Amino acid sequence: MRAIHAAMAALLALAVVGCKVTTGTRATPLGVSVESTEASEGTQVAMLDEGTGESTSPPTTVVHADYGTDLDMDAISDMVIHISTKIGPRPAGSKGLRRTARWIRAELADLDYDAEITEFTLPGEMTGMNVTAATPADGPRLVLAAHMDTVRDCPCANDDASGIASMIEILRLVKERGLDTEIPLQLVFLGAEEEIEGFEGHGYSAIKLMEQMPEAERARMGAAIWLDKLGRGPDFLALVIEGTDNSASEMVLDALGDGEPKPEVKTVPRWSEEMAFEDAGIPTVWLEWAKDRHLHKSTDTWESIEWDHVAAAADATLKVALAKAWVDAE
Ligand SMILES: [Zn+2]
């Protein structure tokens, strides 16, 4: 805990001081050079704690870096850090999950959005919940989905705080540009996607979401992008379920144009969370960076998140939203 506090203090110092020196550049999957920056005062703050032997270095590639996206990566990283450290593990039905749902509702309220928390009963009688919100624009919606729940004892910064934070920041940017009355988006934060006792496989809350959603709302779901594990691993993937319409993955590739990096489209067997969407006839693509070595471990912490990976996946999603490709396809 102490290391986290020190790192947060250093982060705060960076934010307050805001003075930076360029220490070098490095290549990123986005194909841009990222300036590694550090604040001299911030560095001093970090160095004060060096005697403890704990890692206190500030996340120098998070603050002020240019990741080649209009999205505010500082805001995304702040949210990932909050969810994974201040809330921590959040298994389905737990206090952590409830806190996550309320925190998301509060974040969306700051953007003048009324998020709805829908409860349902989990196998084993605990209370599960999903959170949804939508822009006021008319027409078929692009659904963005991420999951709030985690396996036990996992801060799960990557899986899936990275998806949650990206969705909130995408909504903020769309609203800031005054486009939320033109771009129909629905945000879906799912509360029981990991394995739970009494249910085989994944995706309990997605099934509940589809059951509980009023038919008129469901009928407006035009396409869906699942954002899950955006921040670690070597392979950027767009997963499509075997035998289903691949229009959603094409939408992502089209929106990216010549932009890099492009996710590799992979077909996966009928499996997992997004099946509930496909079963309802909603073309769905699942974006992730695959082969995260910290997956479902207590070591899935924010410190080792590769923010350029998050930027790539979130920016691809933003581009789909701005292009309104799913509306033209109707
Ligand atoms: Zn996940």
Please indicate, yes or no, whether residues 268 and 185 belong to a single structural domain of this protein. Answer: yes
Please indicate, yes or no, whether residues 216 and 290 belong to a single structural domain of this protein. Answer: yes
> Phi/psi of residue 285, each to 5°?
-125, 145
Give the residue-averaged pLDDT of 90-109.
Answer: 98
162 vs 225: CA distance, rounded Å = 14
Please indicate, yes or no, whether residues 103 and 246 belong to a single structural domain of this protein. Answer: yes
**Ligand 1 centroid from CA 189, angstroms:** 12
For the chain, percent of residues with pLDDT exceeding 90: 68
Task: Report pLDDT for 243.
Answer: 86
Helices 162-176 and 307-323: angle between axes, nearest 10 degrees: 40
Domain boundary among 63, 86, 115: 63
Query: What band does 328 get if pLDDT is binned at 50, 70 and 90?
Result: low
Please indicate, yes or no, whether residues 22 and 153 belong to a single structural domain of this protein. Answer: no
Please indicate, yes or no, whether residues 162 and 122 belong to a single structural domain of this protein. Answer: yes
Each residue of 103-142: pLDDT tens digit? 999 999 999 999 999 999 999 889 999 999 999 999 999 9
Please indicate, yes or no, whether residues 233 and 295 belong to a single structural domain of this protein. Answer: yes
Q: In this model, does residue 182 exceed pLDDT 90? A: yes
Query: What band does 323 get if pLDDT is binned at 50, 70 and 90?
Result: very high
Q: List the beta bridge partners of residue 36.
A: 24
The structure tokens listed for 36 are 């590694």
Lowest-pLDDT range of 32-46, 177-191, 200-214: 32-46
**Ligand 1 centroid from CA 229, angstroms:** 6
Domain boundary among 29, 63, 97: 63
Task: Report pLDDT for 97.
Answer: 98
**Ligand 1 centroid from CA 221, angstroms:** 22
DSSP run (H or E) holding 168: helix 162-176
Please indicate, yes or no, whether residues 135 and 193 belong to a single structural domain of this protein. Answer: yes
Task: Report pLDDT for 16.
Answer: 35
Q: Who has greater pLDDT, 279 or 153?
A: 153
**Ligand 1 centroid from CA 42, angstroms:** 34
Give the residue-averaged pLDDT of 183-205.
Answer: 93
- State the average pLDDT for the chain: 84
Lowest-pLDDT range of 25-39, 233-247, 274-288: 25-39
Query: What band does 271 get if pLDDT is binned at 50, 70 and 90?
Result: low
Please indicate, yes or no, whether residues 72 and 143 belong to a single structural domain of this protein. Answer: yes
Tokens 């209370």 correspond to 127
Give 31-89 as a DSSP string: SSEEEEEE-HHHHHHHHHTGGGT------TTTTT---SSSS-HHHHHHHHHIIIIII--
The structure tokens listed for 44 are 């001093």
128 vs 92: CA distance, rounded Å = 6
Please indicate, yes or no, whether residues 259 and 302 belong to a single structural domain of this protein. Answer: yes
Please indicate, yes or no, whether residues 156 and 37 belong to a single structural domain of this protein. Answer: no
Each residue of 285-314: pLDDT tens digit? 999 999 999 999 999 999 999 999 999 999
**Ligand 1 centroid from CA 170, angstroms:** 19
57 vs 42: CA distance, rounded Å = 9
Structural domain containing residue 29 = 1-63
> Which CATH number belongs to the domain containing residue 117 in this structure?
3.40.630.10
Lowest-pLDDT range of 40-44, 87-91, 194-198: 40-44
**Ligand 1 centroid from CA 102, angstroms:** 20
**Ligand 1 centroid from CA 21, angstroms:** 36
Total tally of structural domains belonging to the chain: 2
**Ligand 1 centroid from CA 147, angstroms:** 6
